[in-house]
Amino acid sequence: MRTFVWLSLAAMAFASPAMMEKRQWGFLDDDEDDSPAVAPDFGGSPKGGFPKGGFPKGGLPKGVPPTVAPYTPKGAPPAAPKGAPPAAPKGDAPKGFGGFGGFPKGDRPQFPKGEAGQFGGFPKGGFGGAFPKGQAPGAPAAPAAPGAPAPAPKGAAPSAPKGPPKGFGGFPKGARDEEDDELVAVSPRSTRKNPSYVMDLLTGAGAVAGLALALYLWRLHTALSTIPEEILKLSPHRWTDEELLEAYKCIDKNPPDLAKHLPPKQERRYIVVGGSGSVGSHVIKQLLLRGQPADTIRNVDFAPPRSNSVATGVPYVQVDISKQDATTKAFSAPWPKGVPDLPTTVIHVAAVIRPWERWPVHLPRSAGVNTHGSTHVINAAKAVGADIVVATSSASLAIRGVEWWMPLWAKYPKYIGQVYDESDAYKPLRSHWEFFSNYAVTKAAGERIIMNAATDDFRTGLIRPGNAIYAGKNDMSLGEYLRRCEIPTWVPNNIATWVSADNVALAHLQFEAALLSPKFRKVNGKTFNVHDNGKPIAFRDLYRLLSLHSVTGFKANFIPALPMVILGHLVEMYHLLWTYFGPLNALVPEPSGDIMMIQPPVLTACSNTIAIDDAARKPVEEGGIAYKPFTNTMDGMILAVREWNRNHAGVSKSGNVGGAAENVEDGAPLRLGAVPAATTI
């Protein structure tokens, strides 16, 4: 900070040398007039020059400047000099005397011997000498003083004496200083209207402002390029090529068995809300894997299942859960013949995921499914006699939006690194701007609806995946990277927890088992964070894995974070203008595609976010759900890449393999800004 102050002072001191020079000599003041700039006043003659005819014989007393009466029109009495007593009344002047009207009879002004009078002085010897024309008519001219210049011819303008008289401190206007041969202008002191002075001031201010801005941006760039120490301590090790190659070899030879980690099969029916999405299809896969008959499972979703999804083997009912009647109708549809009348579990994983929006004006785009949809699911579940509802929330509900424009003295932007559990779910609901995006705002409201619905006869619970969910081909993280083959990234060093879709689905089934246990009251109506086994990873760990193992190739192009932060705020500003000013809608389109994603909430989601899932791993007796992940992050990602490689054997390592990215929610090609009313994860 002290360095910044000294640099600012230096810029102010040297930005305008000319201005500093003027101020040093006292040229600058607060007077304002139209006169030209002047030289310093050293006591020179007043405006108007010297008295006609030069100086009196003997010159002026040492140190006394000449005092000349102002010009008086012919025939008019002269004005009294400044400070002089009032003029005597006009009377008879002494014989032979004239010029100023005379003195009263018998009265004569007394002057000290040898001193000049108020009007320029008398010649040596009193009144007997000569006077200038108009003062003593007919008197002979006094002899010139030794060394005095010859009188000017009649009618000629008096010339200025060469060099200043003794005791004189300046030259008249236009006089030349022979010592330095510079022309000195004489006028009252002022430079307020000097254009160069204004430009000097603006230049200095601009230099200081530019220096301050450059220093701030450099400081912000440094902070964004550095990982906070408290975050780095949680994940100090980076994946190496050797361990990644060895892990892929082991998993390819002996893949882990998911079935061994599943809870026992239950004699129940299942309604999976959002079964066509990534997490929903994994829930259906695990239900089938543990022996659940396909006709006892119902997929309720806005979009049909993908053609290669295991969900295609179970009954599908299309529904928009933002509408209560449609939701209740889908839940009440008859089951296939032969399916016994069993207790029903509802697994609700549907959501609209629009993480790039944070302004209240855009809330309706997410609230219809994430908030009102939760109410509709609870009401429909009760209507069909379901007694268990396990829903998907998000660990991102606990994080705050990063305050990117940090103070200059701060080490990092506030909330650039966050470590969090699920304790916020049991505190009063935070205000809108305390969430990082509208997605979190609407999911938090929906989460409270489901938590508050819990009773002994209607048991509920929620899973908060923390944070990014990966599945391999249809997700918006690892799967998106595989499809694109080459991506720009500004977060290679950022550290976060990840969770596979298999582990998220597994947590839902483990929560159901906990709610069916005798100790269900310990966990009824609660929410739990879940993530993979192992420590959090940096994004560059994932990039290294993909570049080593993807048969279609992968490359990450690193770019600075600061330009993305600036661009993100500009995109958000444009989005708001488009939203609030209707005429823009007809002229320009709403931001969409990749550019829509570059907004501050998404930048926050890509920062250092580390979820803690210790509570979920506790046994039910201690208030947990006995959560045991299927795999750690490295093995889970290798399994996803291994499946990708098997499906793309023989594909070249050039170009975009997957074409348009698939939406993790609804399975349709990604068209951001036109997400359907009900989507799934």
pLDDT in tens, 16-66: 444 444 443 333 344 444 444 444 444 444 444 444 544 455 555 555 455
* 167 has a pLDDT exceeding 70: no
In the chain, DSSP finds a helix count (H) and a strand count (E) of 19, 17
The amino acid occupying position 673 is G
How distant, in Å, are the alpha carbons of 44, 347, 379, 455, 493 from that of 458? 104, 14, 11, 5, 45
The span from the CA of 122 to the CA of 140, in Å, is: 14
Q: What is the pLDDT of residue 306?
A: 83
pLDDT of 681 reads 54
Q: What is the side-by-side strand order in the sheet with 495-496? A: 417-420, 608-611, 495-496, 537-538
Give pLDDT, residue 476: 83
CA–chain centroid gap for 235, Å, is 29
**Using one digit for the tens of pLDDT, what is the confidence trace for 471-517?**
977 788 899 999 999 999 999 999 999 999 999 999 999 999 999 99
Q: What angle do CA 312, 347, 642 make, to 5 degrees?
A: 55
Over residues 80-106, mean pLDDT: 49
pLDDT at 619 over 50: yes
Give me the pLDDT at residue 408, please: 86
CA geometry: angle 470, 226, 531, nearest 5 deg = 25
Angle in degrees, 0-180, between the axes of helices 324-332 and 372-383, rounded to the nearest 10: 40
Minimum mean pLDDT among 87-101, 384-398, 436-450, 473-487: which range? 87-101
Q: What percent of the chain has pLDDT over 90?
A: 60
Residue 118 has pLDDT above 80, yes or no: no
Q: Which two tokens stand for residue 394?
A: 């998000």
DSSP state of 15: S
Q: How far apart are the C-alpha atoms of 251 and 257, rounded to whole Å?
A: 11
2-14 helix and 195-224 helix, angle to the nearest 10 degrees: 160
Q: Where are the domains of the chain?
A: 1-44+179-224, 225-647
> How are beta strands 555-558 and 486-489 bridged, if at all?
parallel
Q: Quote the pLDDT of residue 587.
A: 87
Q: What does the mean pLDDT of the chain come to?
A: 79
Pairing of strands 417-420, 316-318: unpaired
- Look at residue 365 and tell me whether its pLDDT is greater than 60: yes
Q: Which of 113-127, 218-232, 420-434, 663-677 has the lowest mean pLDDT?
A: 663-677
Closest by Cα among 611, 484, 561, 509 to 268? 509
CATH for the stretch 225-647: 3.40.50.720
What count of other Cβ atoms lies within 10 Å of the Cβ of residue 228?
15
Alpha carbon 298 to chain centroid distance? 47
The tokens for 571 are 């995109």
Q: What is the rounded CA–CA span in Å between residue 2 and residue 569?
A: 30
pLDDT of res. 35: 42
Whole-number Å distance between alpha carbons of 338 and 331: 18
Pairwise CA distance, residues 94 & 126, whole Å: 13
Q: Where are the alpha helices (DSSP H) in 114-190?
A: none
Distance CA 453, CA 444 (A): 14
> Cβ distance 344 to 384 under 8 Å?
yes
| Residue 472 pLDDT | 78
* Most trustworthy range by pLDDT among 41-45, 160-164, 575-579: 575-579
- The residue among 311 and 320 whose pLDDT is bigger is 320
Angle between helices 539-549 and 241-253 (to 10 degrees): 60
d(CA 459, CA 526): 10
Task: Give the C-alpha separation, 403 to 424, whole Å.
Answer: 20
State residue 578's pLDDT score.
93
CA dihedral 572, 575, 577, 581 (to 10 degrees): -160
pLDDT band at 112 (very low <50, low <70, confident <90, very high): very low
- Residue among 530, 541, 540 nearest 638 (CA): 541
What pLDDT is stored for residue 147 in this prediction? 52
pLDDT-above-70 percentage for the chain: 67
Cis check: omega of the bond before 467, within 30 degrees of 0: yes
Q: Is the pLDDT of residue 470 over 90?
A: yes
The 3-state DSSP composition of the chain as helix, strand, coil percent (nearest 5) reads 35, 10, 55
Looking at per-residue confidence, does 179 or 630 come out higher? 630
CA distances (Å), origin 95, targets 88, 98, 105, 108, 344:
17, 8, 11, 12, 140
pTM summary value:
0.70
Q: CB–CB of 301/326 below 8 Å?
A: no
Q: Which amino acid is at 327?
A: T
Q: Mapping DSSP to helix (H, G, I), strand (E, B) and coil, where does residue 526 land?
A: strand
* Range in 135-139, 289-293, 350-354 the model is least confident about: 135-139
- pLDDT, mean of residues 650-654: 64
pLDDT at 85: 56
Give me the pLDDT at residue 12, please.
45
pLDDT band for 264, please (50, 70, 90 cuts). Answer: very high
- Which of 163-177, 297-311, 365-379 is the least confident region? 163-177
Kind of pairing, strands 316-318 and 297-301? parallel
Confidence of residue 155 (pLDDT cuts 50, 70, 90): low
Report the distance separating Cα 624 and Cα 608, nearest Å.
Answer: 26
List CB contacts of 520: < 8 A, sequence separation 6 or more. Answer: 459, 514, 620
